[in-house]
Structure 1
Amino acid sequence: MQLPPVRTNAILVKRYKRFLADVQLPNQEPMTVHCPNSGSMLGCSTPGSPVIISRSDNPGRKYPWTLEMVQSKGVWIGVNTSMTNKLVHEALLNGTIDNFGSITKISPEKKVSEKSRLDFLLESARGLTYLEVKNCSLAHNQLAIFPDAVTARGTKHLVELMHLANQGSAAAVLFCIQRGDVDSFAPATEIDPVYAQTLQQVAKEGVQVLAYLAEVTPEAVTVTRQVPVHLDHA
C-alpha cells in the first residue's frame, strides 16, 4: 500500500496525549502532527528518531500531517494503526494471506455482540471466518511481540473469538508486524500476562493465531509473508 503522495522526512521531538507528536522538519521548523496510534509505541517513540510524515488532502483536519513511521536502529517501523486493516484487506484480496481459502467476500467491522465488533467477516468456499487484526510494532531480539501496553480491549476481543469458536464458527486473530527485522512472533508476557495467557487459551479452543510480516519503506507498506507464532515463549 502506497503512502500518501505528499510526505517528508522529519525528526521526532516528542509524542504526547496519545494522538499528537511534535516533529522538526528538515528546515528546522517545528510542527505538531497527528499520531494515529493509541498504544504506548514502546521502542518506537524515542526523541531524535527519524520519521516519515504525510499530508492529508482533507482541508478540515486540525493537524493536516500524519505520523506514518519511525526509524529505530536503522529499521523503519509502521506506527499508523489506521492503515493496519487496509494492509490486511489488501493482502487478503491479492492472496498474500491465504489461510482462509479463496475469499469471495470481506465484510468489515462485523458486530458480534451489543458492545463489540470484530475487524472482518470473511466468506470463502470453506465457509465464514471471523478475523480480528492487531498491529504489532514492538520487537526484541528478532522476535515481534504484542501488546506494547496492557490491553483489556484486546483481551476482550480474544474472548469474543473464543466464544465464536466454541459455537462452531471459524475464528482467527492476525498480528500484522510493521517492521522488517523480525522472523517470528510471540505474546508480550512480561507486559501483559493476562493477554498472553488468554491468547494461549483461545488457541487451544480453536482460534487460529497468525502473524504476518510487512515490508516498511518510506514509500509504501506491504504485507509480504507469514512468520511462525510461539505462544509458549517466556
Structure 2
Amino acid sequence: MIFSPPLQSATLIKRYKRFLADVTLPNGDIKTMHCANTGAMTGCAEPGNQVWYSTSDNPKRKYPNSWELSVTQQGDTICINTARANGLVVEAIEQQKIPELVGFEILRTEVKYGQENSRIDILLEGLPAAPERRCYIEVKSVTLLQNERGIGQGFFPDAVTTRGQKHLRELIEMVESGHRAVLFFAVLHSGIEKVSCAHHIDSNYSQLLKQAKEAGVEVLCYKAKLSPQQIELSSSIEFID
C-alpha cells in the first residue's frame, strides 16, 4: 500500500475527543486532523511523537488531513489508522502473500452474515476443491506493546470490546455451519514480535477467543513493514495463548 500523495510530517500536541488530534507543523503552525482510531491507543499517542499524515482532496471533509503513522520516542513506528488494516490484508491475499489463504477465486468485503447482524471484513469463496465452503475473515489491528510482559510482546484488545466479542461468536457460528473462520491479527507496530490476547484488559474476550479456537476458528498474525512511503504485510509472527 503506497501512500499517494506522499505523507507529511508533524509533531503531536494531543489526541482528544477520540477522533481528533492537534499537531505542530514544521513551520510552527498548529493543525487539527482526523484520527481514524477509536481505541485507547496506549503508547501510540504520546505528546511529542512524530506523526505522518495524509491529505484528502475531498472538499466535503471538515478535516482533510488524516493521522496515519506515529513514531515513538523509542523509535518504533505505528500505523494508528485502523482503517488501513483491512486494505492491507486484502492486498496481501490478492498478491498471494498469505499461504494460508490462497486458492480462492472470489474475494468480497463487508458482507452481512451471522445471527447478530454483523458484516464480515473479508469473505473468500470459490475454492475449487470445496466450492461450497467459504472462508470468513475478521481483521483486527494490533498496536498495543507492553514490554514488561516480554520483549516485543503485543496484545489485543487495548480496551474492553463488546463488538469484538460479538465477532468471535459469529466466527464460531460459521465454523459450526461447516465453513472456515479466521481471526486475522494485522500487527501494525514495528516493536511487536509476538501477539497474545489481553486477558488483563478484557477477560471476556480472552475466554471467548479460547472457545473460538477450541471450536476450530483459526488465528493468523502477520506483521507489517511500516514507512512514510508505504506499508505492507510482510511476515507471519507467533500467536501465544
One-letter code of the match for 1:48? G
Work out the CA distance in 1 between the residues paired with 2:192 and 2:36: 23
Aligned partner of 1:136 in structure 2 is 142
Residues 64-79 of structure 1 aligned to structure 2 (within 5 Å): 64-72=64-72, 73-79=74-80
The share of aligned pairs that are identical, in percent, is 40
Aligned partner of 2:172 in structure 1 is 162
One-letter code of the match for 1:163? E
* Number of residue equivalences: 231
Q: Does 1:149 align with 2:151?
A: no
Aligned partner of 1:84 in structure 2 is 85
Contact 1:173 1:210 in 2 (8 A): yes
Work out the CA distance in 1 between the residues paired with 2:138 and 2:52: 27
Q: Report the Cα offset of residue 161 of structure 1.
A: 0.2
Aligned partner of 1:180 in structure 2 is 190
Work out the CA distance in 2 between the residues paired with 1:16 and 1:103: 42
Contact 2:139 2:184 in 1 (8 A): yes
Contact 2:6 2:228 in 1 (8 A): no
Contact 1:93 1:103 in 2 (8 A): no
**Greater strand fraction, Structure 1 or Structure 2:** 1
Work out the CA distance in 1 between the residues paired with 2:4 and 2:208: 37
Gaps of 5+ in 1: none
Work out the CA distance in 1 between the residues paired with 2:102 and 2:11: 43
Work out the CA distance in 2 between the residues paired with 1:37 and 1:4: 21
Gaps of 5+ in 2: none
Work out the CA distance in 2 between the residues paired with 1:38 and 1:153: 12
Indicate the RMSD between aligned Cα atoms, in angstroms. 1.2
Aligned partner of 2:123 in structure 1 is 121
Deviations 1:145-198 (A, max 9, x none): 111111000010011000111121111110100122222111111111111111
One-letter code of the match for 2:225? E
Contact 1:134 1:173 in 2 (8 A): yes
Single out whichever of 61-70 and 125-134 deviates more from structure 2: 125-134
Work out the CA distance in 2 between the residues paired with 1:192 and 1:54: 32
Aligned partner of 1:55 in structure 2 is 55
Contact 2:93 2:102 in 1 (8 A): no
Work out the CA distance in 2 between the residues paired with 1:80 and 1:92: 20
One-letter code of the match for 1:203? K
Work out the CA distance in 2 between the residues paired with 1:49 and 1:128: 42
Work out the CA distance in 1 between the residues paired with 2:15 and 2:137: 30
Q: Report the Cα offset of residue 74 of structure 1.
A: 0.4
Aligned partner of 2:106 in structure 1 is 105
Q: Which runs of 4+ in 1 moved over 6 A?
A: none
Contact 1:92 1:103 in 2 (8 A): no
Work out the CA distance in 1 between the residues paired with 2:65 and 2:101: 36
Q: Report the Cα offset of residue 6 of structure 1.
A: 4.0
* TM-score normalised by the chain length of structure 2: 0.92
Aligned partner of 2:19 in structure 1 is 19
One-letter code of the match for 1:116? S
